[in-house]
Structure 1
Amino acid sequence: MFLSQSIIRILIFLLFNFSLIQPCIILNSTDYGDCSLPLGYIWNGNDCEFISGCDMYNDEEYFFSTFEQCDIECTNYSSLGDLNDDSMINVIDVVQLVTNILDENIFYIAYGDLNSDGLLNVIDIVSLVNIITSNNEYRDTWDIINQDILTPKCATCHYPGSFFSETSNLVLTEDIAYEQLLNRVPDNTSANNDGLVLLSDEGGLLGLLSSFFWEKINVKNEVHFYDDHPLYGEIMPLGGPFLTIGELDFIEDWIWNGSPEIGVVADPIILNDNSIYNPPSFEPLDPPPIGIQYHIGPFDVYPNTEREFLYHVPSLDSDYYVNRVEMSMSHGTHHFILYKFSDDYIGPEPEVYTYRDIHSPYIEEYLDGSINLNWLNNIQNLQQHTFIFGTQWPVWDYAFPEGVALKISSDFKLDLNPHYFNYTDNLIQGEVYLNLHATLPQNVIHEAGILQLGKNDISLPPNEETTLEEVFSTIDILNGINIDRPNDSSELKIFQLFSHAHQLMTRFDILILKENGEQELIYTALDYEHPPILELDPPLTITEGQSIISRTTYYNDTNNYVNFGLLSTDEMMIIFGLVYFD
């Protein structure tokens, strides 16, 4: 298809008669003095930055009081094809695309590359015109959101009677989703204290800033979400797949226009953008005000290898209580786990600050035909550990419930366990920061314990889908915790759960088996690399007679049996969690 002469004439006319929206004014944080007075957020040309100084001088109108306000007004999250970032895709965007192609100073703009070939050319112009002329969507904006986004991606968990709907007090089935959302007070205490409603009909910037629903689905702001709102829970849908850029922009436009139930207030062409948000680059962490920071690396991960090692750090001289854990890991991480040696460990204490590798080519399993004792010792160490904290997310910030903290004893022998994959042809650098934020003993009401439930009997036939299930009784659960039950009347509270498996996993479910035989799904992971960390607020209470079910589906696409093991080509089936007794 070629552009018609009439379209070309329109483009030429608009090209010389249309001016684009001007971006936010770029400010420099060093221009406001060396004082500690909090001033607010500024746009530095790349992102929104909170600064302190002496005075705003004459720039007060360019400061923002919240990150959200700055981000919404200054950050360009344009959908594919929305060249002028006006939330509409029309002939004006074609004009801008032509302008960009003709401008020798503009080499590439991702949201103008309609065919994703890394180039801006006439093919992208034709593709954009085709998208505009083929639009035949006439449903109300809310109907599209309800039927095409919420029903398949949210209502599968938030349906009447489900664990998720009861713990969040939110049902998102098609018949009642709108009334469940609009202007309702969220059950999340932190969001409630911040004055948010689930979905605001105020419209404009205030509507977005007031909507907890928008905070929860806006994966583009995940770093801000976890850094500034650690008690808001998890980005939704839990564990992904998250909403596309097009879906997010469509919902954002709808909320901006007052979240109406009836009417067309957002351009459905935006939904053609099926791209997914990519997380930001690795950033080192500042040390915690109270607590300790561990830093590993940088270390090499060779092309087409995986690297996993243990890294022993010395114990502190006194006990301390951890109530928040913060991690940042460079690209390529599969997981990071903080272990302690099990109470019955009798081997020698490893050398501190040394990489004790698990896999070849970083360490050989055999030397001169005999087993490498250093490698064997590392493997045995890994099997004699008790899990403390861990995540497969490259950025993680987890705050314990109020009054709950985990005691790290001075006799804990801590082992840090990074695991990196590099399936590229280039060398990459692994690097990990771990912050353990501490609180004073007098602030601790409940001492936390560590839950670990696993199944080692794994055998997956080649080229088949296999579902494995393990039922853990109340006794199994209590035996899987590293602290004792204070008395028989104490209730077990689980406030965090997540799963661990390897690359053949396609689904990992955790269910509660009630005394009457009813099973209730409480957790699902669909991505083995980034399983959701389920923060339970209020905590999940396990009563006598209840069990936990681990049900995991694998698809073994190899020609060999796959069994339990430590390599990424082996498999695992483990539930980790944090608990306390009340």
Structure 2
Amino acid sequence: MLACAALIGCGSEVVEQPHPQATTSGTSTEGWTTLIDTSWEIGGGSESYWCATKTFHEDLYINAFRPLGSTGTHHTLLLWSKGNQPDSETVCGPTLDESLLFASGVGTDDLVFPEGVALKIPAGTQLLLNLHLFNTTTAPLPGISGTLVKTLAPSEVKQEAEMIMPGANGISVPPNSPGSVQGDCTFPGDATLMSVWPHMHKYGTHMRVTHQMNTGEVPLHDASFSFTEQKNYPITPVPVLAGERIHFECSYMNTTSKTIGFGISSDDEMCFLGLYRYPKLASACQ
């Protein structure tokens, strides 16, 4: 576990549960190990970001992810680090890009891959844990957040998985009105899709995801979105051929008197779709 530090930021309103020391999405920890975690403390009525990095010295094959988070952890992003700096912990800013390999929010449950499928962390890799923290109380709030995993032995791995994160551009939701935006990811090679993770902010209301083929479309996910319960949605594995598309549409309800556009704040909006697939391909989308 890494050391703690105080964070200071701007206030925001988020619904949270009573404070535990640290919580996971399941009741049993059998078979789960800590991949990365960090201790933090955030001032009363504040919002901020906290980052920790960790370097792995042996190949690691991950078959399942589980979020670890105390109250005050709004969301957790686990990314491939782009730097070569020593492992550290520090106040930071938000990070969300194509280097993402696991994400969790309030209410995210376990993500378990099919038998023999694993995401590889090569020896020498440094991972970045990016935390978005909220404290809706008036007192300082300490916590522990991170990611737990289950792993496979190299001999048990039959397919190497990856996470990709296509997004949609052009978000502009008029004041006191609904709105939507659409995006696509055309697969550059044959792969099997096994999970979707919708990501919007607090004005997001619905996401619809379909598999687009020459013969028509097949719905993969069509459900309401809740900013306070951001889940991964495992699906029955779906073969997607090279040139076929995953199409997604994000819907919003703007309850403010200003136009809502793209941005990193919870008061702005996003439309991203986390997809887990195997095997690992040369590029995310065409």
* Range class of TM-score, shorter chain: 0.7 to 0.9
Note if 1:293 corresponds to 2:35. Answer: yes
Q: Match of 2:215?
A: 516
Number of aligned positions between the proteins: 261
Alpha-carbon deviation of 1:544? Answer: 4.3
Alpha-carbon deviation of 1:517? Answer: 4.0
Alpha-carbon deviation of 1:388? Answer: 0.6
Larger strand proportion of the pair: 2
CA contact (8 A) 1:499 1:525 kept: no
Structure of higher CA gyration radius? 1
Alpha-carbon deviation of 1:356? Answer: 3.0
Alpha-carbon deviation of 1:316? Answer: 1.7
SS of equivalent to 2:228: coil
The CA deviation string for residues 421-480 of structure 1, in whole angstroms up to 9 with x for no partner, is 2334343233214222221100001111222111243222222211111233x2xx33xx
Structural mapping, 1:42-191, within 5 Å: none
Note if 1:561 corresponds to 2:265. Answer: no
CA contact (8 A) 2:49 2:132 kept: yes
Q: Kindly tell me: are residues 520 and 289 of structure 1, through their superposed partners in 2, closer, same or farther at Cα, counting changes over 3 Å?
A: closer
Q: Match of 2:170?
A: 457
CA contact (8 A) 1:327 1:394 kept: no
Note if 1:352 corresponds to 2:95. Answer: no
CA contact (8 A) 1:496 1:534 kept: yes
Structure 2 stretches lacking a partner, 5+ long? 1-16, 281-286
Q: Match of 1:505?
A: 204
Alpha-carbon RMSD across the aligned residues, in angstroms, is 2.8
CA distance in 2, matches of 1:513, 1:400: 23
CA contact (8 A) 2:129 2:146 kept: no
Q: Kindly tell me: are residues 441 and 521 of structure 1, through their superposed partners in 2, closer, same or farther at Cα, counting changes over 3 Å?
A: closer
Q: Match of 2:283?
A: none
Q: Kindly tell me: are residues 430 and 562 of structure 1, through their superposed partners in 2, closer, same or farther at Cα, counting changes over 3 Å?
A: farther
Alpha-carbon deviation of 1:324? Answer: 1.8
Aligned residue type for 2:233? L
111, 132, 153: which is aligned to 1:398? 111
32, 40, 48: which is aligned to 1:307? 48
CA distance in 2, matches of 1:427, 1:558: 30
Alpha-carbon deviation of 1:532? Answer: 3.0
CA distance in 1, matches of 2:165, 2:172: 21
SS of equivalent to 1:454: coil
The CA deviation string for residues 222-243 of structure 1, in whole angstroms up to 9 with x for no partner, is xxxxxxxxxxxxxxxxxxxxxx
Q: Kindly tell me: are residues 496 and 309 of structure 1, through their superposed partners in 2, closer, same or farther at Cα, counting changes over 3 Å?
A: same
CA contact (8 A) 2:206 2:222 kept: no
CA distance in 1, matches of 2:225, 2:97: 29
Structural mapping, 1:212-291, within 5 Å: 281=20, 283=22
Alpha-carbon deviation of 1:530? Answer: 1.4
Structure 1 stretches lacking a partner, 5+ long? 1-277, 359-378, 479-484, 486-490
Structural mapping, 1:352-501, within 5 Å: 352-358=87-93, 382=95, 386-394=99-107, 396-472=109-185, 474=186, 477-478=187-188, 485=189, 491-501=190-200
CA contact (8 A) 1:333 1:394 kept: no
SS of equivalent to 2:110: strand
Alpha-carbon deviation of 1:526? Answer: 2.1
